[in-house]
């Protein structure tokens, strides 16, 4: 998932660099949720939910190379999550700017019952939906397969709101109740739809062209993502839960994955090297840029 044969590409090693502790505390809610193997399910769950927004789906259909290079597409998303969660503020802002530059060209039109509608990756409603779906998916998966969250679910939503601000989400939710209320509002306004593009993405996610043991593990993770979805989204996606005990099977798959990952360095290990260096040298945390989204303009 890191896109490197030995698992430690340069951007992971760079987590040890920088002059501050970053946006999120060691051992806090964001660190805890994003360090867990439940993120394997959360990523699939987030993609399924995000696909229901026709603007997001149009961008994927028109610009994404997920069909030709699913691992590369996944690697780009993982890189942003890891850098923002565990990196210094400088690394988090630089990574967000990189993603922002990629999004500058994502615009076009899509069909609705009322006629053609334009979209852009910078649309406030679209950016908010992607943030909401991500937050809900990672929180929901961790609640099923992870341990306790320091400070509870509200702490995670509140902390990850900072990532939303970096991506220019206007006023991201800071409680679980507000998160779910805002997501429900998209359904009530009729902004989420299931069409042929959604069906195409769902089919691809159901049968990503992995091989060997990875293919078997992925099939379990996909079934877990479907089973974990709130009922209204599962219904809108046209998906059904398998009758098999997939929740328990997923615990086994994730436990095996956790054991395998434990044999090598993890992202937070590099981040802790930075923290230890700062502590040893007595360097105070550097100034943090405003949390209003202006940081994402760096490097554009």
Q: How far is it, in rounded angstroms, from Cα 120 to Cα 221?
A: 31
Q: Is residue 115 pLDDT above 80, yes or no?
A: no
- Measured CA to CA in angstroms, residue 233 lies from 54, 57, 100, 183 at distances of 14, 15, 28, 10
Looking at residue 287, its pLDDT comes to 41
Q: How far is it, in rounded angstroms, from Cα 85 to Cα 168?
A: 17
* Neighbour tally for 244: CB within 10 Å: 11
Q: Is 211 helix (H, G, I), strand (E, B) or coil?
A: coil
Q: Which tokens belong to 105?
A: 């060209």
Q: How far is it, in rounded angstroms, from Cα 28 to Cα 156?
A: 8
pTM over 0.75: yes
Q: How far is it, in rounded angstroms, from Cα 138 to Cα 149?
A: 12
Looking at residue 290, its pLDDT comes to 42
Mean pLDDT of 174-191: 96
Q: Is 115 helix (H, G, I), strand (E, B) or coil?
A: strand
Burial class (CB in 10 A: 0-12, 13-18, 19+), 6: exposed
Looking at residue 282, its pLDDT comes to 82
β partners of residue 117? 110
Looking at residue 60, its pLDDT comes to 84
Angle at 288 between CA 276 and CA 123, to 5 degrees: 125
Mean pLDDT of 105-120: 84
Give the chain's mean pLDDT: 87
| 239-293 per-position pLDDT tens digit | 999 888 999 999 998 988 887 766 667 889 999 999 999 999 886 554 444 444 4
Q: Is residue 208 pLDDT above 70, yes or no?
A: yes
Strands 115-120 and 107-112, how do they pair?
A: antiparallel
Mean pLDDT of 137-148: 96
Q: How far is it, in rounded angstroms, from Cα 15 to Cα 9?
A: 11
Share of the chain above pLDDT 90, in %: 62
């Amino acid at each position: 998932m890191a896109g490197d044969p030995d698992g430690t590409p340069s951007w992971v090693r760079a987590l040890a660099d920088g002059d501050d502790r970053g946006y999120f505390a060691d051992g806090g809610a964001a660190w805890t949720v994003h360090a867990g193997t439940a993120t394997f399910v959360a990523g699939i769950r987030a993609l399924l939910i995000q696909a229901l927004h026709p603007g997001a789906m149009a961008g994927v259909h028109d610009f994404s190379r997920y069909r030709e290079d699913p691992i590369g597409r996944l690697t780009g998303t993982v890189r942003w999550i890891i850098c923002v969660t565990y990196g210094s503020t400088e690394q988090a802002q630089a990574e967000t700017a990189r993603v922002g530059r990629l999004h500058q060209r994502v615009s076009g039109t899509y069909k609705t019952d009322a006629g053609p509608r334009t979209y852009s990756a910078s649309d406030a409603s679209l950016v908010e939906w992607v943030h909401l779906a991500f937050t809900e998916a990672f929180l929901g998966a961790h609640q099923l397969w992870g341990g306790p969250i320091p400070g509870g679910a509200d702490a995670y939503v509140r902390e990850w709101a900072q990532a939303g601000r970096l991506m220019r989400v206007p006023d991201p939710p800071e409680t679980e109740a507000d998160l779910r209320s805002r997501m429900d509002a998209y359904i009530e306004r009729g902004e989420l739809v299931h069409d042929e593009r959604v069906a195409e993405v769902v089919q691809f996610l159901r049968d990503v062209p992995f091989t060997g043991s990875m293919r078997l593990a992925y099939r379990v993770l996909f079934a877990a993502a479907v089973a974990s979805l709130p009922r209204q989204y599962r219904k809108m996606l046209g998906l059904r839960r398998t009758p098999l005990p997939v929740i328990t099977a997923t615990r086994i798959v994730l436990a095996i994955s956790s054991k395998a990952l434990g044999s090598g360095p993890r992202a937070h290990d590099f981040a802790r090297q930075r923290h230890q260096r700062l502590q040893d040298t007595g360097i105070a945390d550097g100034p943090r840029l405003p949390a209003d989204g202006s940081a994402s303009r760096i490097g554009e």
